[in-house]
Amino acid sequence: MEPQQLAEAAGSSRHAPAGISLHDFCGQAGEQLVHFHAMRLRDSLFLWVGAEPALRSLAVAMCSPHDSIPVSTSLLGDASDATSNSLAQRLARKTKKQIFVSYNLQNTDSSFILHIENRIKEEMMAFPEKF
Amino acid sequence: MAAKPIVTSKQREEVVRGVPTEVVCTAFSNSILVVVTQYGKMGTLVSVDPSTITSDISKPSLTTKVLLGTDEPLIHVCAKNLVTFVSQEAGNKPVLLAIALKDKSMEGIKALQELIRSCQVW
């Protein structure tokens, strides 16, 4: 997106804050270029993370009044891969929103995922209206 | 870092039979994500899969499975009616459908089909 379009998109989102907003960004994690696709809905967020455009897993998490750790469940893909789950939980705790995460990278090292999480948080700080 | 999107999305907002409605379609390499909402939320998440075991390859039967939300018969009917054509036109790809509808009438569903078609990313 060109800067001018970005500005327009930000402007229109101010007029209609209830509407769904889409936001693409990317980041370098180690050697790898990682793409992000965020869709902000009412009180919820769908976030896709991947290097190629496939949707292989999906988890959802939300805060619970009964537990300090947000509750989460795996909706799609390999249930033994907890990466989407734990990322959704951490973002739910930060944003207090219902969070859908689709994490589609081979690398599931905790340090790598921390890097990914920090990139997401950085973007959330820069474009809070998009999340 | 500036992003050239790796996935394609199209979005429409329209009043359908008096109800403000939003549709977002996103094309992934292995599936299509379709969000149809009259509440602004994801609502019920339904996986719509073309089954491979069929006598007629060109028109496979679709299996619907509720991944999140109330698993009621009407949801399956709505899901099949809304996105069967999406799956077929995308070359029999599975569709992940998020629906939150106030108006589940047949006329409403037909109008929503057209709205989904206007967000063609497949």
Q: What is the pLDDT of residues B31-53, one digit of tens each?
A: 999 999 999 999 999 999 998 66
**Interchain CB distance below 8 Å, B30 and A75:** no
Is A41's CB within 8 Å of B42's CB? yes
Nearest chain B Cα to A17, which residue?
B40
Chain A residues whose beta carbon lies within 8 Å of the beta carbon of residue B39: 42
Mutate to test the interface with A, among B15, B42, B95 (most CBs of A within 10 A): B42
Rounded average pLDDT over A58-70: 95
Nearest CA in chain B to A39: B24
Nearest CA in chain A to B32: A55
Please indicate, yes or no, if residue B22 is contained in any of the structural domains: yes
Indicate the pTM of the whole model. Answer: 0.89
Mean pLDDT of A52-79: 94
Is B70 a member of any domain?
yes
**Model confidence pLDDT, tens digit, residues A29-50:** 888 999 999 999 999 999 999 9
The percentage of chain A sitting over the pLDDT mark of 70, rounded to a whole number, equals: 86
Q: How far is CA A104 from CA A18, A32, A36, B29, B78, in A?
A: 28, 13, 10, 12, 29
**Does residue B4 sit within a domain?**
no
Domain membership flag for residue B89: yes
Q: Is the pLDDT of residue A6 over 70?
A: no
A129 with A13: CB under 8 angstroms? yes
Residue B56 distance to chain A (closest CA, Å) = 27
- B52 assigned to some structural domain: yes
Domain total of chain B: 1
Instruction: Name B23's Cβ contacts closer than 8 Å, sequence gap at least 6.
Output: B11, B12, B13, B14, B34, B35, B36, B37, B112, B115, B116, B118, B119
**Model confidence at B57: pLDDT above 80:** no
Full set of structural domains in chain A with CATH: 11-126 (3.30.230.100)
Nearest chain A residue to B12 by CA: give it: A20
Q: What is the CATH number of the domain that holds B36?
A: 3.30.230.90
- The answer, for A52 touching chain B at a CB cutoff of 8 Å, is yes
Torsion, Cα A94 A35 A103 A96, to 10 degrees, reads 20
| Cross-chain Cβ contact A25/B7 below 8 Å | no
